Structure 1
Amino acid sequence: MAHPIGVFDSGYGGLTVLRSIVEALPQYDYCYLGDNARAPYGTRSFETVYHYTLECVEWLFKQGCPLVILACNTASAKALRSIQQKDLQRLGPEKRVLGVIRPTSEVIGNYTQTQAVGILATNGTVSSGSYPLEISKFFPGVNVHQHACPMWVPLVENGEYGGAGADFFIKKDLGILQEQAPEIDVLLLACTHYPLLEPKIKAHLPAGIRVISQGSIVAESLKDYLHRHPEMEQQLSRGGVKTFYTSDSAEEFDRKASMFFGEAVHSQHIETAS
């Protein structure tokens, strides 16, 4: 039986993370699950996000994944800790679930000269307070300024990330954040959809502000994790095979997924419990 690395997201955004992981670690097998039928997660309660994420993690474990990456900031913020502390003992103490917030928080302070970092994310990620909390553990001197951008995910998912509507909302949201904290010199895109908007984000920012996407950070962190945990690394199958699943229409998923993954995707539909 294959033992792929599981990668989970509420929809398409995690494909930008998977893309970076595959580029860094092409030898392993990967199993991606997008819970598109219940997306977006960004506006849902902690309990709902936890329930949905746990169900999807269990499904990936049943596919033979010994390691699952929550390539979703909202799921990482609202569900990861509970799954690690409450559920892994029952599901398999030898299994692991990792998120995207901690690896990003471990390095983000290295990029700022002004000690001011801006975070652009969904409502769910911002309201969780996860980034200010985690960043303070590694960089207590860094000031974190958050702003929720609720229109950005719909723009991306509807293919409008290159249009004038995207310019309007990006300019508006960046303006709010810069007014709040003009000293920011690093801007973290803390939602995996946002890299598709990166060219427009950079176009509306003043010179000297660095934009950070998470894919390469998460990929490097995973590479380091596997180096430090050979007992996990040795379990993983190495066929370079990538399989994709969605809880919604496979045809619709395949049509949009290539925007995020950078190549054609062929997915299969699965049923979720609720």
Structure 2
Amino acid sequence: MTNKHPIGIFDSGFGGLTVFRSIVAQLPQYDYMYFGDTSRSPYGNRSFKTIHQYTWESVQWLFAQGCPLVVLACNTASAKALRTIQQQDLPNGYPTQRVLGVIRPTAEVIGNYSESKEIGVLGTKGTVNSESYLLEIAKFFPEVKVHQQACPLWVPLIENGEHDQPGADYFVHKYLDEIMAKSDSIDTLLLACTHYPLIQDKIKTYLSPDIKVVSQGDIVANSLSDYLQRHKEIEQNLTKTGTREFYTTTDDTDDFDKYASLFYGGEVKSGYVAMK
């Protein structure tokens, strides 16, 4: 059993590193362990059952490394696996550990960004089909109308390093046209996938300057900070030596490190974890 108790950060691939980057910037004192299930990504088009299985296996691996708290820095995993993990898996085997997601923290504040009270949500097919944002935003901002748009080609373009090439512009423009055609009153677009901040500047070039484009990194970091202040029993169990460890299910760690560094904004040196 390790004497280190880091905060675990999980994502199906690289995207969660944009959230991890914001969390580390705001809460640098803690130890962290990032786990990217890159050999089985993307999760966006998989079934609820498969996403739950993959996510829960990864969360249990992080628990085994000493993480008492894991953040699912992945919208698809948060949409399709978090509820089952919190309501069934944790009580049955890990009653003292905690798993948090990115959807609820975002839903709690996103309505404050919109003056027109009409918001567009851009996400993977899995996140959109789950309707998690429709349900969660309605709890906190029942007056806000939410329009959704799946952007299935954005993650593959980003993870293959093609997002800054001219060929990507067609698909960026295509999905933005589709979401904006749903209402003339949309004044806020939520990037409901942690990969999308890498194309945020490109997205803005195809939008009116008065449309707000909101990414999740700082939102999730603020929420985690608040959570730790309110749950001292968790916070006091976390070690604080400022270490950052990275792990991937891809055996070519050099390839993972190259792309991960783009998302994280700094050097990444990862270790390999074999999953079934």
User: What is the rounded CA distance, in whole Å, between the counterparts of 1:239 and 1:91 in structure 2?
Assistant: 28
Counterpart of 1:37 (choices 36, 39, 44) is: 39
1:204 and 2:232 correspond: no
Other-structure match for 1:87: 89
Other-structure match for 2:77: 75
User: What is the rounded CA distance, in whole Å, between the counterparts of 1:91 and 1:196 in structure 2?
Assistant: 37
TM-score, normalising length from structure 2? 0.98
Other-structure match for 1:185: 187
User: What is the rounded CA distance, in whole Å, between the counterparts of 2:208 and 2:120 in structure 1?
Assistant: 14
1:207 to partner: Cα distance: 2.1
User: What is the rounded CA distance, in whole Å, between the counterparts of 2:225 and 2:16 in structure 1?
Assistant: 17
Structure 1 counterpart of 2:50, which letter? T
1:91 to partner: Cα distance: 2.6
Once superposed, what is the RMSD of the aligned Cα atoms? 0.6
Residues 58 and 91 in structure 1, CA contact (< 8 A), matched pair in contact too? no
Counterpart of 1:216 (choices 204, 218, 221) is: 218
Structure 1 counterpart of 2:51, which letter? V
- Superposed CA offset, 1:149-198 (max 9, x none): 01101111111121112211111110011111221000000000000000
Counterpart of 2:258 (choices 255, 259, 268) is: 255
User: What is the rounded CA distance, in whole Å, between the counterparts of 1:125 and 1:166 in structure 2?
Assistant: 21
Structure 2 counterpart of 1:182, which letter? D
1:9 and 2:4 correspond: no
User: What is the rounded CA distance, in whole Å, between the counterparts of 2:231 and 2:187 in structure 1?
Assistant: 35
1:92 to partner: Cα distance: 1.7
Other-structure match for 2:269: 266
- Superposed CA offset, 1:86-122 (max 9, x none): 1101232111000000000000000000000000000
User: What is the rounded CA distance, in whole Å, between the counterparts of 1:254 and 1:227 in structure 2?
Assistant: 33
User: What is the rounded CA distance, in whole Å, between the counterparts of 1:99 and 1:29 in structure 2?
Assistant: 19
Other-structure match for 2:156: 154
Report how many residues are paired.
273
TM-score, normalising length from structure 1? 0.99
User: What is the rounded CA distance, in whole Å, between the counterparts of 1:91 and 1:223 in structure 2?
Assistant: 26
User: What is the rounded CA distance, in whole Å, between the counterparts of 2:235 and 2:179 in structure 1?
Assistant: 41
User: What is the rounded CA distance, in whole Å, between the counterparts of 1:234 and 1:222 in structure 2?
Assistant: 14
The within-5 A match list for 1:63-142 is: 63-142=65-144
Give the secondary structure class of the aligned counterpart of 1:6: strand
Structure 1 stretches (4+) deviating beyond 6 angstroms?
none
User: What is the rounded CA distance, in whole Å, between the counterparts of 1:13 and 1:215 in structure 2?
Assistant: 10
